[in-house]
Amino acid sequence: MRRFPVVTALALTWALLAASLAGAQDHAEYRPFLPGPIWVYNNWSAYDELSDNVPLTEAAAMRELHEVLRLRRLGVHIDYYVMDAFWYDPDGGYRKWRGEGWPVGPLRWIEALARNGILPGLWFSTNTLTHMNPPPQWRDSLTANGKGMALYKGGFLADFMDVLQYWYDRGVRLFKFDFADFSAAAAGDENALGPADIKARNVDALRNVLRRFRGRNPDAVLVAFNGFGGNFASTAAPIPFHNPLDLQWLDAFDTVYAGDPRASDVPEMDFWRSLDIYSDHSVRRFAENGVPLRRIDSTSFMIGDTGTNYHRRTDGWKGMLLLEMARGGWVNTVHGNLELLDDNEARWFARAQRLYEPLQQAGTISMFGGVPGAAEAYGFASDRSDRGLYAVVNPGQSVQVLNLPPRNRESEPHGAGRVLFRDAGFEPVLGNDRIKLGPGQFALIGFGRYAHAAYDLGIQSDIRIPRSIESVSVRFRDARAKNTIETTLEPPASGDLRIVMQQRDLGGAIQRSVTHEKMGAFFVIAASQDGKQLPIEIRYDRVVWSGLSWAVGEIHRDKIAPKKTIRLRLSSADSDRVHLEGHVYRVEY
């Protein structure tokens, strides 16, 4: 895998560096894309100043650098370390580092990266004032509400580009652009110009200067996040996007991101699998929009113990990592608390990277099967002539059979394959160019050279899939209480009971609820026998900043009294009047 040249410590020493834009020449040509896949560590979710109160400090940043170096010694490939939001002084116009927690600014961090051959990256809010105040040179670009800046008028954009060059000259090589607002009109223009004209002027202004910046700095990596197109709030919206990405942004950016990790609108007993499905669905939507898979950063790998990652720590992390690689993006981003991975887990991480590295580089990854957000089985195929990996997922509440696509244009059969990795419980059945998967299950299949025990990656024990599942015929009815449905049923002779609730608006569309409380108290699944409450296992009981539209719980067999009627009551605390659907399944583990 090709790496970009390392910036030396000497070149990054403040005493020997002076920002100099004089004499820089614009070039008509610019590097349109990365020469190969890269691995990026981003420290967001190791700290969190939005959904939590974990601050960004030099001590925290250097702790994670220590962990990056530990993982690299154990074989993990990491090229860049990105300092995410709020590194800047609110009054410094992005030129001054925040003082609190950073006694000498970024100097120690940047020099330590240089000594160890890792390239630094920085986060920027593209043209909105995110926890900062406008310096004088930006004020003639301010919007009427004072929350952002026009890109087409005033001094903001020229100064912003000077800022990017300032940090490039100090060694920064990856630039993350977030929170773009192309509706931002300079004060007084909001009534003089139409919305389409304002957007076109902003887009053209930014895209043109970024092209020139790339021409001057061909080894810079530019990644686009919120505001550049796409809908991230839900997987219920149709494919393709209502708000499509303008593909001309691919002339400026190396990759576009597919949304921060959040629950899909597909109910899952395991909350983390729902997050996997969200990222898979979002990547598919960008691909349907015309974005090559190589140019999509799924941004899905996030471990840690903050609000951003729903305090997941490392739950389900192995499947999360494999799916990030399987989607084929050439910017592979790892977020969060790396100290949560022990040495053996780091070695596993490195093995998985080495497995996918030649397939990502070959750029032959494709998506097949159904639509993730419609609970249809699907997968990502990564093929070369002598080897292939197929990452497959069944998001539904039933056992599904997924047909595997031909390995090449001549429709060559797959031959003998091997399940290299799977969730615990249900054992996938592979044969005849198809695979049978349990409800909510992920598996990785190897073909050709990879169909060998030497490439086995084991079983993900913290996600457990039922060995069997069947629907139980029940009819829910509206209760007297608002947004509440109920039913009764007789206990099955064997197995646990899985209860699924889906929330929709009164028109039938999926509706998410957003609350600052834990969702277990907001979406309530209650069960009783003879007036006695039955304990219900739920895994969605967490603060979900991105909202949730479903609830799933299970009653274990040993908690159910035989031959006594079970009463189920499902409710939502949403302030709107909503429609609730209820389903019940008998599951065997």
CA–CA distance, 382 with 367 (Å, rounded to integer): 9
Cβ 260 vs Cβ 308: under 8 Å: yes
Both 387 and 497 in one domain: the answer is: no
Both 231 and 154 in one domain: the answer is: yes
CA–CA distance, 244 with 250 (Å, rounded to integer): 13
Both 391 and 498 in one domain: the answer is: no
Q: How confident is the model at residue 188 (pLDDT cuts 50, 70, 90)?
A: very high
Question: What 8-state DSSP symbol labels residue 484?
Answer: E
Both 307 and 276 in one domain: the answer is: yes
Domain that holds residue 167: 9-13+30-337
Residue 408 lies in a domain: yes
Q: Which amino acid is at 542?
A: R
pLDDT for the residue 409: 54
Cβ atoms within 10 A of the Cβ of 99, count?
10
Both 485 and 433 in one domain: the answer is: no
Residue 24 lies in a domain: no
pLDDT for the residue 385: 83
Both 409 and 546 in one domain: the answer is: no
The three-state secondary structure class of 456 is: coil
Residues 209-224 have pLDDT tens digits of 999 999 999 999 999 9
The three-state secondary structure class of 294 is: helix
Q: 249-287 burial, b if ≥16 CB within 10 A, otherwise e?
A: bbebbbbbbbbbbbbbbbbbbbbbbbbbbbbbbbbbbbb
Both tokens of 87, joined, read 């590194």
Both 255 and 319 in one domain: the answer is: yes
Residue 330 lies in a domain: yes
Last residue of a domain, one of 434, 465, 496: 465
Last residue of a domain, one of 446, 465, 484: 465
218: CATH:
3.20.20.70
How many structural domains does the chain have?
3
Q: What is the mean pLDDT of residues 113-131?
A: 98
Both 408 and 485 in one domain: the answer is: no
Last residue of a domain, one of 419, 447, 465: 465
Both 459 and 538 in one domain: the answer is: no
| Of 87, 224, 249, the residue nearest 163 (C-alpha) | 87
CA–CA distance, 104 with 107 (Å, rounded to integer): 6
Residue 344 lies in a domain: no
Residues 381-436 have pLDDT tens digits of 999 888 999 999 999 999 999 999 987 655 555 678 999 999 999 999 999 899 99
Residue 360 lies in a domain: no
574: CATH:
2.60.120
pLDDT for the residue 354: 97
pLDDT for the residue 230: 87
pLDDT for the residue 17: 30
Residue 187 lies in a domain: yes
Q: Which amino acid is at 269?
A: M
Both 190 and 291 in one domain: the answer is: yes
Residue 25 lies in a domain: no
Residues 331-389 have pLDDT tens digits of 999 999 999 999 999 999 999 999 999 999 998 899 999 999 999 999 999 998 889 99
Q: Is the pLDDT of residue 525 over 90?
A: yes
Both 426 and 474 in one domain: the answer is: no
Nearest 5°: phi and psi at 124?
A: -135, 140
Both 373 and 474 in one domain: the answer is: no
382: CATH:
2.60.40.1180
CA atoms within 13 A on the CB side of 20: 5
pLDDT for the residue 30: 34
Residue 554 lies in a domain: yes
What pTM, to 2 d.p., does this model score?
0.92
